[in-house]
Structure 1
Amino acid sequence: MILTVLGCGDAFASGGQLNTCFHLQHNHVQVLLDCGATSLVGMRREGVLSTEIDYIILTHFHGDHFGGVPFILLDALVNKRTKPLTIISPPGGKQRIAQLTECLYSGIFQQIASTFFIIYKEFGGDIVTEHFTLIATPVIHSPDSLPHAVRLQWDNKVVSFSGDTEWTDALLPVSDNADLFICECNYFDKEGPAHISYHQLVPQLPRLNAHKIVLTHLGESMLTQKASLQLLCLEDGMKVEIN
């Protein structure tokens, strides 16, 4: 299983990083984990085709995490996608995506829906697909965005992602024994709101038994401290092999 970082920046593109979007590929199945506004740019850079994405998983409804979906759908339409696409999100995903797409490109959403089939699934209990099982856990971020962390069990591999959140003990079971835990860390020493700081995270590391922990969604204060950090910080274009 390979994770390619199509974007790992925050909402302000701190450090010139693109918005959050991770590409997972395993056994010819392709997943986008979050799909921020710049996701299509990241896909172009890494040679990822919109027509070949099987699943899009959205942790919450902020533009830097789901704002790229209309562009992916439009690109798939133009490039004559035919196979179904499954979008998994917090409740209300279809309505929010339809509204955003209609706002950006009037009339396109209905054209997309009549060209290839989109299957919408909403968080709630274990979501079992043909390829993996997904568990979504509510976390602490802007409530209206319906924030969740996600845990993806795929064959004998587990990839978990905090989404955007303050520190919460809910991340312990999400990351438990994960092969890879992607943890947001927007601040260096500031305490909240809505995001984790490095100074908050370090004391929690002994409680996190994931095999590999990487940091994402770094703000300016974190970027100035990267050289001194004990955990790997993701960068756009980075590839992580999940063994």
Structure 2
Amino acid sequence: GTGILIDCGEGTQIAMRKKGWSAKPIDIICFTHYHADHISGLPGLLLTMGNAERTEPVTMIGPKGLKRVVDALRIIAPELPFEIIYHEIQDSTEVIECDGFTLTAFRVNHNVTCYGYTMTVKRAGRFDAERAKSREIPLKLWNRLQKGETIEEDGHLYTPDMVLGPQRKGLKLTYCTDTRPVEAIVTNAEGSDLFICEGMYGEPGMEEKAKEHRHMTFYEAALLAKKAGVGELWLTHYSPSLAYPGNYEGEVRKIFKKTIVAKDGRTETLKYTED
């Protein structure tokens, strides 16, 4: 599998340790934007990964200026035993093919350049033995084709679609923070099994403040979830002045029933909905 981290605020390592997670397996680090609460924990994390004897390259993905920002932070973490590969997002939407999944970055609306991310795990169709037999595909090739391999043998080209049925529903997760509601969020989050979205303000009457600071209220996030038809919404990134975010969960659920006013450390294992 592939380990992915989205953003790296100063409390990232503390949160990971509480969960018993190691930083060493992180292969990709995505940044939504370069405000301190989303990136200031990076130097310490990189040093921890190096001390854990990681040697494999780490890919970093983020808005333009990524290498400049990271190089500045690395003044206090100059020597690492692994290479950093930089991928700076150039367009309003960018699709990046990763090992076993697709990562889509999409531009949102904050007071600096900011992106949301969608991760999609595709799922191949079910193996169809009758289909393979009708096409006279040699039995010895079935397993390799089922695993997605294209094979050329004895002058014939065999492809996975020759033995597989229609593609099944995979998994989709969308993460979005520090933004006003924009249509790009609905478009990219559509059908997500899990939608993790900022909810800076839960109190009534905070709409103007949300607009001023380019953030969202709980209720705006819930409307996005409803429009996108997601499986579940987790709210996050609360204002420090919001002492009891959970007090507003009932009101938000009137807009989108499957809303969770999430707390630090919440986890979920996404599972395929079809066999």
TM-score (norm 2): 0.70
Q: Structure 2: how far apart are the matches of 1:232 and 1:127?
A: 29
Q: Please, which of 178, 197, 201 is the counterpart of residue 164 of structure 1?
A: 178
- The one-character-per-residue Cα deviations of 1:84-115 (angstroms, maximum 9, x if unpaired) are 2111111221210110221xx1xx32x12xx2
Change (3 A) 1:232 1:223: farther
Unaligned runs of 5+ in 2: 123-169, 254-258
Higher relative contact order (CA 8 A, sep 6+): 1
Counterpart-to-counterpart distance in 2, 1:157 and 1:206: 18
Within 1, Cα distance between the matches of 2:224 and 2:2?
34
Deviation at 1:174, TM superposition (A): 1.9
- 2:244 is aligned to 224
Note if 1:37 corresponds to 2:51.
no
Structure 1 position 163, deviation (Å)? 2.2
Residues 1:82 and 2:110 aligned together: no
Out of 30, 34, 37, which is 1:57 matched to?
30
Counterpart AA for 1:96 = V
Matched, 1:206 2:206: no
Contact 2:245 2:261 in 1 (8 A): no
The number of aligned residues is 207
SS at match of 1:141: coil
Matches within 5 A, 1:16-165: 28-102=1-75, 105=76, 108-109=77-78, 111-112=79-80, 115-124=81-90, 125-143=94-112, 146-155=113-122, 156-165=170-179
Cα shift readout 1:55-75 (whole Å, capped 9, x = no counterpart): 111111111111111111111
The one-letter code matched in structure 1 to 2:87 is: K
C-alpha contact (below 8 Å) 1:60/1:163 kept by paired residues? no
Select which of 166, 173, 198 maps to 1:184. Answer: 198
1:174 and 2:188 matched: yes
What is the deviation of 1:167?
1.6
State the alpha-carbon separation in 1 of the partners of residues 243 and 236 from structure 2: 11
- Between the aligned partners of 2:223 and 2:3, the Cα distance in structure 1 is 35
Q: For the residues of structure 2 that align with 1:36 and 1:131, how far apart are their CA atoms?
A: 27
- Matched AA of 1:128: E
CA distance in 1, matches of 2:14, 2:82: 22
Q: Which amino acid aligns with 1:130?
A: D
TM-score of the aligned structures, taking structure 1 as reference length = 0.78
Sequence identity, in percent?
28
Counterpart of 2:143 in structure 1 is: none
> How far, CA to CA, are the matches of 1:163 and 1:154 in structure 2?
22
Match of 2:215, as an amino acid? H
**Is the alpha carbon distance of 1:132 and 1:203 closer, same or farther for their aligned partners in structure 2, counting shifts above 3 Å?**
closer
CA drift at 1:159: 0.8
Q: Which has the larger radius of gyration?
A: 2
Deviation for aligned residue 1:77: 1.8
Cα distance in 1 between the residues matched to 2:217 and 2:50: 40
